[in-house]
Amino acid sequence: MSTLSELQTAAAEKICTRFPQITRKEFRGDITLTIRPEDLVAAMRFARDTCGFDMLVCVSSVDHLGQEPRYEVNYTITQAETGANLLVRTPVSEAENAVPSVVPVWRSANWLEREQYDLMGIEFTGHPDLRRIMMWEGYPYHPLRKDFPVAGKDFEQAGVAFTQKAPTGGAPFITVPGGKTAADREPRSRG
């Protein structure tokens, strides 16, 4: 019987053999594959159909403000039966600002990609319903980008209830050290 690490390593080797342009990095038992956007869908389909990665667990993104490529989209895929995971990273340049959608491979990517589009502004080409999922339609900003101010931005849109900066007490979810209870440290308790 193979160990989890051996399963992950064998799967990563199989994927890298099929797609030689993929770069592979291992750190503390986690394997990360960096895939060019143009190879993403084919590599993900290969990982699912040939290597048994039958579950997309997470889609997230990172803003490397001041670097190029500015963004990266990260996917965690899993073999549900064995628990083997692979991390797949795709760089996204600020000029292109688009990566192919993996919804044709995993339908569960639908809302996850919409979240990244809404909050980071990354486009997913070929997505069946790419629209905002948290912010309202017409909101011109992407609040998880590093250039978005922590205090928020004023915004005017007729008929929308919240058009001024949200009072965040310095930043969302920032607590004050000390206090007797967690409720005392909570920003909303300070009025």
Look at residue 114 in the predicted model and tell me its pLDDT: 97
Is residue 110 domain-shared with residue 190, that is, in the same domain? Answer: no
Does any domain span residue 125? yes
More confident residue, 12 or 178: 12
Instruction: Answer yes or no: is pLDDT of 168 > 50.
Output: no
Q: Among 22-31, 62-71, 144-153, whose mean pLDDT is lowest?
A: 144-153
Look at residue 178 in the predicted model and tell me its pLDDT: 62
**CA dist., res. 59 & res. 3, Å (int):** 26
Instruction: Answer yes or no: is pLDDT of 147 > 50.
Output: yes
CA atoms within 13 A on the CB side of 189: 11
Is residue 133 domain-shared with residue 154, that is, in the same domain? Answer: no
Share of the chain above pLDDT 70, in %: 79
Residue 100 one-letter amino acid: P
Is residue 178 domain-shared with residue 86, that is, in the same domain? Answer: no
User: Which of 95, 118, 139 represents a domain boundary (last residue)?
Assistant: 139
Is residue 123 domain-shared with residue 161, that is, in the same domain? Answer: no
- Per residue in 81-137, pLDDT (tens digit) is 999 999 999 999 999 999 999 999 999 999 999 999 999 999 999 999 999 998 888
- Per residue in 60-88, pLDDT (tens digit) is 999 999 999 999 999 999 999 999 999 99
**CA dist., res. 78 & res. 86, Å (int):** 7
**CA dist., res. 130 & res. 125, Å (int):** 9
Is residue 112 domain-shared with residue 159, that is, in the same domain? Answer: no
Confidence of residue 141 (pLDDT cuts 50, 70, 90): confident
Q: Which domain holds residue 132?
A: 4-139
Please tell me the pTM assigned to this model. 0.80
